Amino acid sequence: MQPSTDPPQPTPHNPQPKAHCTQPRWRPFCAARLLALVLLLSIAAPAQTPQTPLPEAERTRWFREAKFGMFIHWGVYAVIGRHEWARHRFQIPQAQYDTYARRFNPVNFNADAWTDLAASAGVRYIVITSKHHDGFSIFRSQVSDYDMEITPYKGDPLKMLAEAAQRKGLRLGFYHSIMDWHHPDYVPKRAWEVANPKEGGNLDRYLEFMKAQLRELLTAYGQVAVIWFDGEWEHTTQEMHSDEVYDFIRKLQPNTLINDRLYKREPGNRADFGTPEQFVPATGLKDPSGKPILWESCVTINNDSWGYNKYETEFKTERDLVRMLIEVVSKGGNLLLNVGPTPDGRIQREFVTRFEALGRWLKVNGEAIYGTTASPFARLPFFGRATAKGNTVYLHVFQWPADGMLRVPGLANKVVSARLLARPAAKLPVRRDSSDLLVSLPRQAPDEIASVVQLTLDGSPSTTPYVIRSDAKGLLTLGVESCEIETRFEQRAKKENALGHVFLTRWTRADDIPTWTFTIPSPGRYQAEITYGSAGKGAEFTLTAGSAQLTGSVAGTQGDWVFKTYPVGEIQLPAGQQTLQVKASPRAGLNAMNLEKVVLKPAP
């Protein structure tokens, strides 16, 4: 239905109607009304208890300790049920999209059910979309005519969720899109909608509107944990008045955290934390000086969208998500795991079961996650990760050693005690092998996905970096368990283990690159061999180490889990530290291979 050009009439639900600011004839009235409402809200703001500003370390303490959050993408796009970018992707005219907005009626929304799920899953904070790129505000905004008031739903979902989160002791933050496809002052417009996308708006005036909405969120919904910006890539930080917006938020709630997208994710910005999207950074995030910074990987359970997608058929497994949480935390980050609720307000079963599984694992092993710091080991020789807390190191073991012996390299401390978190009463024997620690494990892992060994030490962990070196015969084995995956947005490749093998799988993107760092004792020529499994053949790959490069094509091994070794060629390597990568060129989104290892042998 085409929106009326007449001013809206008073109703019992909306006694002070809002002008339709998308209509040109009402824009002058809207600008004046916006200014009046901003002043009104500024007067009303003290009704919320003011915050005492905390030093940065205290302000961010809860975030550093929380480790696990729930992301919620919910809005009009759920009615379409395909993607949160549906209006843009499918070039839906605004008038048509508005009909979906008027059908958004989450009659089955139960804020307590959502927070119950989050709390039982071990989630410590929630971030929900207050406004996505489509411009629709999923709350009752006094400065917008494009919000919950045009829907049949009588409540304010954000208000209800804020109250439920407070009852459960969960922190709540708000995602807020800088980009806005609906607001008349936002530029650029969509190129498929108008002839001149950069004309017809006023970005400075739009930013005043955005600040007015931020004021609403920061003065009417309790203590706000995070303002999580997105949609920043169409403007510079100067155009977005990023510093001004940052200071505006700090004035209203000085302890609210602000993510890096307000500053276009540029290094060294004023934001509290970084936001890698749909991937886990190989070595965490650092500022320009090399100092680790706070960061949070935001990741979907499904693969194709953030909002509700009724056509989605592929989901990350419980195993994937438990291990991803561990990996993120071991690198010093938080995991913000997304759900896209249905238009009627339910969280679909595929998401519920996975959060429940995370909750079961955290109930046993949560102390190895919450309040921990990054691994004290740069790398490990076994398939797993490590976290630390004070005098305690937690070893998260994904592949149970066949000989029952877990080798921990370069740990200098005396071990006071060792035990499994799943079996705390039973002590584990430990002994020394030169600079390494050997932990004797029972025959069976208590948890096939990830079992945690707790080492209590005589002080803070003191380690010598583990270096991959040649064995007595000069062979250098680069197993997938000791690589990191260099990647970026939309990572697909992951490490997996089965039948005694650890391998890289779901290698469907060239941007996912397994990378090893190792040391060569003396310069020389080496024969390179590669071991993998593959039901298909033909994908090309390149092995690079410094300036040396070898290429090859995947041969079928008669099964993805049938692993065979093939020669690749000879390379010349200098002495000292080296970096080796295997870059694949997957075909049509198919898995290039299940890579198990690369072996370098001294050439005769």
What is the phi/psi pair of residue 481, to 5°? -60, -25
Read off the pLDDT of each residue in 240-254 and give the average, rounded to a whole number: 98
Q: Which residue has the higher pLDDT, 474 or 16?
A: 474
Q: What is the pLDDT of residue 16?
A: 39
Q: What is the DSSP letter of 169?
A: T
Instruction: Compute the CA torsion angle 127, 130, 132, 138 (nearest 10 deg).
Output: 130
Closest CA to 418 of 387, 388, 386, 395: 395
Residue spans per domain, the chain: 24-43+57-368, 384-457, 476-602
pLDDT of residue 546: 87
Residue 467 to residue 516: CA distance in whole angstroms: 10
pLDDT in tens, 346-377: 999 999 999 999 999 999 999 999 999 999 99
Long-range contacts for 541-544 (Cβ within 8 Å, ≥24 apart)?
Answer: 541/582, 541/583, 541/584, 541/585, 541/592, 541/593, 542/582, 542/583, 543/568, 543/571, 543/580, 543/581, 543/582, 543/598, 544/580, 544/581, 544/583
Q: What is the pLDDT of residue 19?
A: 45
Residue (of 208, 89, 210, 104) closest to 151 by Cα position: 104
First to last CA, the chain: 78
Q: Give tens-digit pLDDT for 540-556.
A: 999 999 889 999 999 99
Q: Report the chain's mean pLDDT, rounded to a whole number.
A: 92
Beta bridge partners of 396: 385, 452
pLDDT in tens, 93-138: 999 999 999 999 999 999 999 999 999 999 999 999 999 999 999 9
The CATH number of 476-602 is which of 2.60.120.260, 3.30.43.10, 3.30.450.40, 3.30.365.10?
A: 2.60.120.260
Question: What is the model's pLDDT at position 384?
Answer: 98
Q: What pLDDT score was predicted for residue 49? A: 72
For the chain, the C-alpha Rg in angstroms (whole number) is 27
φ, ψ (nearest 5 deg) of residue 406:
-100, 120
pLDDT at res. 527: 96
pLDDT band at 24 (very low <50, low <70, confident <90, very high): very low
- pTM for the model: 0.92
Grade residue 538 by pLDDT with cuts at 50, 70 and 90: confident
User: Do 415 and 455 touch, CB atoms closer than 8 A?
Assistant: yes
Give the three-class secondary structure for 129.
strand
Q: Provide mean pLDDT across the span 328-334.
A: 98
Q: Which fold has domain 384-457?
A: Immunoglobulin-like (2.60.40)
**pLDDT value, residue 20:** 46
Question: Does the pLDDT at position 79 exceed 60?
Answer: yes
Query: What's the whole-number mean pLDDT along residues 27-41?
Result: 48
**pLDDT (0 to 100) of residue 18:** 54
Tokens of 425: 């009463």
Q: How confident is the model at residue 469 (pLDDT cuts 50, 70, 90)?
A: confident
pLDDT beyond 60 at 399: yes
What is the per-residue pLDDT across 177-235, written as a single tens digit (0 to 9) for each?
A: 999 999 999 999 999 999 999 999 999 999 999 999 999 999 999 999 999 999 999 99
Distance CA 50, CA 42 (A): 13
pLDDT at 107: 98
51 confidence band (pLDDT: 50, 70, 90): confident
Per-residue pLDDT, 267: 86
Helices (H) and strands (E) in the chain, counts: 12, 26
- CB–CB of 420/454 below 8 Å? yes
pLDDT at 239: 97
pLDDT recorded at residue 21: 53
Task: Report the percentage of the chain scoring pLDDT > 70.
Answer: 92
Tokens of 23: 């209509």
Contacts (Cβ under 8 Å, ≥6 apart) of 335: 67, 68, 69, 296, 297, 299, 324, 325, 328, 329
Question: Topology of domain 24-43+57-368, per CATH?
Answer: TIM Barrel (3.20.20)
pLDDT at 22: 46
Alpha-carbon distance of 140 to 157, in angstroms, equals: 9
CB–CB of 519/574 below 8 Å? no
Q: Does the pLDDT of residue 296 top 50, yes or no?
A: yes
CATH topology match: 24-43+57-368 vs 476-602: no
Chain-centre distance of CA 253, in angstroms? Answer: 25
* pLDDT score of 50: 82
Of 401, 581, 573, the closest CA to residue 474 belongs to 573
Q: What letter represents residue 527's amino acid?
A: Q
Distances 152 to 13, 136, 216, 344, 435 between C-alpha atoms, Å: 11, 15, 22, 12, 68
Q: Which residues contact 512 (CB under 8 A, 6 or more apart)?
A: 485, 486, 487, 491, 492, 493
Q: Count of alpha carbons within 13 Å of 386, Cβ hemisphere only?
A: 23
The yes-or-no verdict on residue 285 having pLDDT over 70 is yes
Task: Please give the pLDDT value at position 26.
Answer: 42
Let me know: does 62 contact 173? Beta carbons within 8 Å: no
pLDDT reported for residue 10 = 33
